[in-house]
Every structure is written in C-alpha cells, then in structure tokens.
Amino acid sequence: MTTRTNRWATARACARGLIGAMAMTGLRTVTAAVGRHEQSPPVAIVEEKAPALVRRLPERSRGAVIEAAHWTYGTGGGLVFGLLPADIRRHPAAGPAYGLAIWLAFELGIAPVLGVRHARERRVLWRALVALDHILYGIVVAGRPTRP
C-alpha cells in the first residue's frame, strides 16, 4: 500500500469515526429511556470534571459542547483505527473489537484516572448498552473492507 493510499484510508477512517460518534449519539438517545436516567460517559465527564466555564453554560449550549467533544474524540478514534495495519483493519471482527476496546479503555482506564464517580455507579444493563453503542461505533469506523 502506498503512502497516498494510507493517507486516504486514514482520512476515510477519520470521517467514519465522526459518523460513528454521531450514530452513537442517536443510539444513546434511544437507550437513555431504559430504566432510570443514566448519564452517558461524555456527560458524566463534563458534569464532574469539566472547567467551571463549561458547567456554567446553559444546558442547551453545554449539550452542544459535549456532543462536539464526543464527535472530536470519535474522529480521533477513527484516525487511530486508520493508522492500524491494513491486514488488521480488514479483519471482519476488527471494527467491533476496536469499539469494545475503546469502551474498555474508558471503563478500566480513563474513568478511574479522571475519578469519574458516575462510571463506578452504573448498572450492568447501562454498561451493556454503552458497550453496544461502542460496537456500533467500531462497525461504522471499520466500514466495508476494501481491497488494496
């Protein structure tokens, strides 16, 4: 694979990362209706750890900032996926496994390091639903396998 092809694959993966994060937002809107109200990881991080300036924004503006941050993070995740070797990216399980790996990185690494209290209090059903939307993200990021 040439450098130009690698750049194109990485750019496509970035775009799919953005779209995947947007798809997660849509799925999370539906799953948020399950049981008691649960905060999504991006909301929990902002509510507990964001600078006071962000927390003081009106709810509507804060929601837009949270989504923009999540979509930026999703785009970055797409970038990282696009940088993986082509043989790994083409594997049928690569996308879902990548999405789950991102979820586990949050659950086992990022949330504890940031001290996001909410992450420790979530119910099993909510964790499963969040894992599911990360699988969706991984499927979107991986896209359809392409031939070199």
| pLDDT, tens digit, 9 for 90 and up, residues 33-52 | 665 566 677 777 777 777 67
Q: How far apart are the first and last CA of the chain?
A: 7
Residue 101's nearest CA partner among 148, 135, 60 is: 135
pLDDT 10s digits, 108-120: 888 888 887 665 6
Count how many residues are written for the chain: 148
pTM of this prediction exceeds 0.85: no
